[in-house]
């Protein structure tokens, strides 16, 4: 049989769907390394594609998208664009640092009275949106209370509303300099303050990282940030 005839037969019946399982697998493996077969298959896909219009539409059940969405997370982690890419990107932090310092200075003035009153060093973090550096939240932590006792509570305070898509949640994370991975500080309600106890964590450090990511409704299933970073910032020591 002519080689081209055989190539066309394989390509056309692969697209049509009449090849048996074993032959289908073979064609799929050959596609990766045989450009001629790939071109033939592409041409057949294009020729027959209008026939998909003959299948009457069918409305998927309401559970299907949540199921798909829940399955995306491990795949997202495997991709290079996961949280590690952000976290390890030096250029990103350099750009961010300028904006964060400016925001911190501005907010420190606003918050000056509140921070000064109990006396003692504390930490302030301004969480900004990565794209436009707009501040969205502030974190206040580690300052001593009026009795001079070290306060291990951390307060996350919204500066404005954050819109959260349906079936999604905001999750709050932190990572110290020598930690292997970020630690979850819990889910956050948009526009609402959150108090978190830090007794289980090492003491706050200057430059400690904080971020809020968009995660599935019940929070990240992996214990690591999986969704896009909405707000991010570093701790700054304030007197």
Partner 1 sequence: MPAPTATFDYEAALRACARGDQQALHGLYQQESRYLLGVALRIVRQRALAEDVLHDAFLSIWRRAGSFDATRGSGKGWIYVVVRHQALNVARARTHEVGADEETVEALLHERQAEGGDSSDAYALQADMGRLHDCLGHLDEAKRNCILYAYVDGCSHSEIAQRLSSPLGTIKAWVKRGLASLRQCMG
Q: Which stretch binds partner 1 (CB under 8 A): 9-17, 99-107, 184-192, 197-205?
A: 9-17
Q: Minimal distance in Å, beta carbon 77 to partner 1?
A: 10
Closest CA to 177 of 140, 213, 206: 206
6 binds partner 1 (CB under 8 A): no
Q: Is 129 helix (H, G, I), strand (E, B) or coil?
A: coil
49 binds partner 1 (CB under 8 A): yes
Cβ neighbors of 129 (< 8 A, separation 6 or more) are 136, 230, 231
User: How many whole angstroms separate alpha carbon 159 and alpha carbon 56?
Assistant: 50
32 binds partner 1 (CB under 8 A): no
Length of the chain measured in residues: 239
163 binds partner 1 (CB under 8 A): no
Cβ distance to partner 1 smaller for residue 43 or 96: 43
Q: Minimal distance in Å, beta carbon 176 to partner 1?
A: 26
User: How many whole angstroms separate alpha carbon 142 and alpha carbon 125?
Assistant: 11
Binding mask of the shown chain, residues 191 to 230, with x at each position contacting partner 1 by CB under 8 A: ------------------------------------xx--
61 binds partner 1 (CB under 8 A): yes
Q: Is 21 helix (H, G, I), strand (E, B) or coil?
A: helix
- Report whether 216 contacts 167 (CB < 8 A): yes
Closest CA to 189 of 162, 223, 154: 162
Closest CA to 227 of 215, 219, 212, 217: 215
User: How many whole angstroms separate alpha carbon 165 and alpha carbon 150?
Assistant: 38
88 binds partner 1 (CB under 8 A): no
Residue from the set 7, 76, 183, 196 that interacts with partner 1 by CB under 8 A: 76
Residue from the set 1, 58, 62, 109 that interacts with partner 1 by CB under 8 A: 58
Binding site for partner 1 (CB under 8 A): 8-9, 12-13, 16-21, 24, 42, 45-61, 64-65, 67-69, 71-72, 75-76, 79, 81-82, 165, 227-228
């Amino acid at each position: 049989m002519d080689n081209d005839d055989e190539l066309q037969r394989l390509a056309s019946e692969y697209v049509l769907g009449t090849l048996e399982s074993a032959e289908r697998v073979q064609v799929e493996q050959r596609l990766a390394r045989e450009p001629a077969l790939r071109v033939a298959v592409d041409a057949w896909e294009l020729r027959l594609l209008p026939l998909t219009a003959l299948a009457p539409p069918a409305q998927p059940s309401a559970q299907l998208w949540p199921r798909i969405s829940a399955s995306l997370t491990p795949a997202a982690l495997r991709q290079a664009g996961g949280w590690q890419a952000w976290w390890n990107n030096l250029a990103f932090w350099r750009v961010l640092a300028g904006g964060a310092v400016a925001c911190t200075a501005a907010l420190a003035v606003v918050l000056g009275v509140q921070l000064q009153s109990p006396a003692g060093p504390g930490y302030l973090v301004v969480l900004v949106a990565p794209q436009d550096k707009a501040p969205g939240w502030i974190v206040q932590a580690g300052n001593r209370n009026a009795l001079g006792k070290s306060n291990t509570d951390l307060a996350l305070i919204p500066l404005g509303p954050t819109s959260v898509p349906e079936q999604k949640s905001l999750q709050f994370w932190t990572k110290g300099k020598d930690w292997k991975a970020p630690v979850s500080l819990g889910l956050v309600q948009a526009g609402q303050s959150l108090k978190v106890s830090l007794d289980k964590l090492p003491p706050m450090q200057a430059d400690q990282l904080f971020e809020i990511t968009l995660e599935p409704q019940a929070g990240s299933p992996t214990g690591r940030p999986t969704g896009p970073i909405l707000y991010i910032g570093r701790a700054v020591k304030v007197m």
